């Protein structure tokens, strides 16, 4: 379907209809229950549902608006995520110039993504910024804890900007015979990543006995991990209509999202455990900070882009 000069696929509209229908049902159910049996759990669920409404509206705009709007939105998400990570990083006064350069990398990276300057996109942060940031730190002349800053600032830039910016490249995916476009691929990625967390949590609660990373995430189990990955793989196959992939390729992508989503969550959990904090921020009521929601997708996004590109091109 075409609206105001730009195209919105039927696949995207159908997916959004399902998402908002679920939110409407949950909102109504929690409101009715709150009128008869108010409790802390219901209050928490209402807060979380309200936050999901805001996130769903943001996702809806992201996947239905023109690519320039979606790219700007993603760059803002990267800005918020980078700001959160840098705010908990306990950096030195001498790191100010490098921190400013890290923020400046955001518009550059997304400019490259929007114009699909693919090769420049690939090496700008991993090569130019990974060399430039340490040089700036050396020029500051303060060598106290400089090694920590040299490793931490580029790593945070990779997680919050480079990884997420791969989503903007999806706007450029064009496959003959596939009408979904970048919006369908983005919603496919987001649904799989979000529900993978739910699946792994649910299987862990139902069957979990053996801890997988007891010193990082004590509640995660092998049973939850395996069950979640397999279920996410099955969901990938079920949502195949949102991709130009073959059924078995969507299943493989789903399995990969399950595995990488677990790793992304574990990476951020390890950082928070090291810093002895529960959440990276309190930006989203009931959910913590932006990175508490993006922990999985920062790893699943580049994997999804490159694995899908491989399948499409072969």
pLDDT digits (tens, 9 = 90+) for 187-230: 999 999 989 988 998 899 889 889 999 988 888 999 999 999 99
Share of the chain above pLDDT 70, in %: 96
The dihedral region occupied by 279, where left means phi > 0, alpha psi between -120 and 50, and beta the remainder, is beta
Q: What is the pLDDT of residue 110?
A: 98
Rounded CA-CA distance 306/313 in Å is 10
- In the numeric block, which tokens belong to residue 135? 């040089």
Q: What is the pLDDT of residue 179?
A: 86
Q: What is the pLDDT of residue 101?
A: 97
**What does 218-235 look like in DSSP terms, one character per residue?**
EEEEHHHHHHHHHHHHHH
Q: What is the pLDDT of residue 38?
A: 72
Rounded CA-CA distance 49/67 in Å is 28
Backbone dihedral angles phi then psi of residue 3, each to the nearest 5 degrees: -130, 125
Residue reference for tokens 């090496």: 123
Paired with 3 in beta bridges are 6
Which of 9-23, 25-39, 164-178 has the lowest average pLDDT? Answer: 25-39
Q: Do 219 and 204 form a contact (C-beta atoms < 8 A)?
A: yes
Taking all residues of the chain, what is their mean pLDDT, rounded to a whole number?
90
pLDDT at 259 over 60: yes
pLDDT at 271 over 60: yes
pLDDT digits 0-9 by tens, 17-57: 988 998 999 889 888 888 887 777 677 778 878 888 888 89
The runs of H, that is alpha helices, within 239-283 are 247-275
Reported confidence tier of residue 73, pLDDT bands at 50, 70, 90: very high
pLDDT at 175 over 50: yes
Q: What is the pLDDT of residue 286?
A: 59
Rounded CA-CA distance 173/168 in Å is 10
Q: Do 110 and 75 form a contact (C-beta atoms < 8 A)?
A: yes
Q: Strand 6-7 and strand 2-3: pairing?
A: antiparallel
Q: What is the pLDDT of residue 57?
A: 93
Reported confidence tier of residue 7, pLDDT bands at 50, 70, 90: low
- In the numeric block, which tokens belong to residue 137? 């730190």
pLDDT at 166 over 70: yes
pLDDT at 299 over 50: yes
Q: What is the pLDDT of residue 1?
A: 41
Q: What is the pLDDT of residue 114?
A: 96
Q: Which of 197, 173, 195, 198 is nearest to 184 (CA)?
A: 173
More confident: 218 or 168: 168
- Residue 158: count other Cβ atoms within 10 Å of its Cβ: 16
Reported confidence tier of residue 284, pLDDT bands at 50, 70, 90: low
Reported confidence tier of residue 5, pLDDT bands at 50, 70, 90: very low
Rounded CA-CA distance 143/48 in Å is 44
Q: At a CB cut-off of 8 Å and minimum separation 6, what does 163 contact?
A: 298, 299, 301, 302
Which of 215-224's residues contact partners 24+ apart within 8 Å by CB, and which partners?
A: 215/273, 216/266, 216/269, 216/270, 216/273, 217/265, 217/266, 217/269, 220/262, 220/266, 224/200
pLDDT at 172 over 70: yes
Share of the chain above pLDDT 90, in %: 65
pTM exceeds 0.75 for this model? yes
Mean pLDDT of 121-137: 96
Paired with 284 in beta bridges are 288
């Amino acid at each position: 379907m075409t609206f105001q000069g730009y195209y919105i696929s039927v696949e995207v509209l159908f997916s959004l209809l399902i998402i908002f229908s679920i939110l409407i049902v949950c909102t109504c159910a929690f409101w009715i229950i709150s009128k008869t049996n108010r409790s802390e759990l219901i209050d928490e669920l209402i807060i979380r549902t309200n936050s999901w409404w805001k996130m769903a509206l943001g996702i809806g705009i992201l996947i239905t608006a023109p690519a320039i709007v979606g790219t700007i939105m993603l760059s803002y998400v990267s800005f918020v995520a980078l700001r959160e990570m840098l705010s908990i990083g306990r950096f030195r006064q001498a790191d100010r110039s490098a921190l400013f350069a890290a923020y400046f990398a955001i518009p550059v990276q997304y400019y490259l993504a929007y114009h699909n300057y693919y090769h420049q996109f690939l090496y700008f942060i991993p090569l130019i910024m990974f060399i430039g940031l340490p040089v700036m730190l050396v020029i500051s002349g303060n060598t106290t804890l400089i090694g920590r800053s040299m490793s931490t600032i580029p790593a945070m830039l990779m997680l919050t900007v480079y990884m997420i910016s791969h989503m903007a490249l999806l706007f450029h995916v064009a496959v003959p015979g596939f009408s979904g476009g970048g919006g369908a691929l983005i919603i496919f990625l987001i649904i799989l990543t979000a529900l993978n967390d739910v699946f792994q949590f649910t299987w862990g609660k139902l069957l979990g006995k053996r801890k997988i990373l007891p010193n990082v995430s004590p509640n995660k189990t092998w049973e939850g991990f395996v069950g979640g990955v397999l279920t996410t793989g099955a969901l990938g196959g079920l949502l195949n209509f949102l991709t130009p992939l073959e059924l078995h390729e969507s299943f493989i992508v789903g399995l990969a999202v399950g595995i990488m989503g677990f790793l992304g969550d574990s990476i951020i959990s390890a950082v928070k455990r090291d810093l002895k904090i529960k959440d990276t921020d309190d930006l989203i009521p009931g959910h913590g900070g932006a990175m508490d929601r993006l922990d999985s997708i920062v790893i699943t996004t580049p994997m999804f882009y490159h694995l899908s590109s491989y399948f499409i091109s072969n």
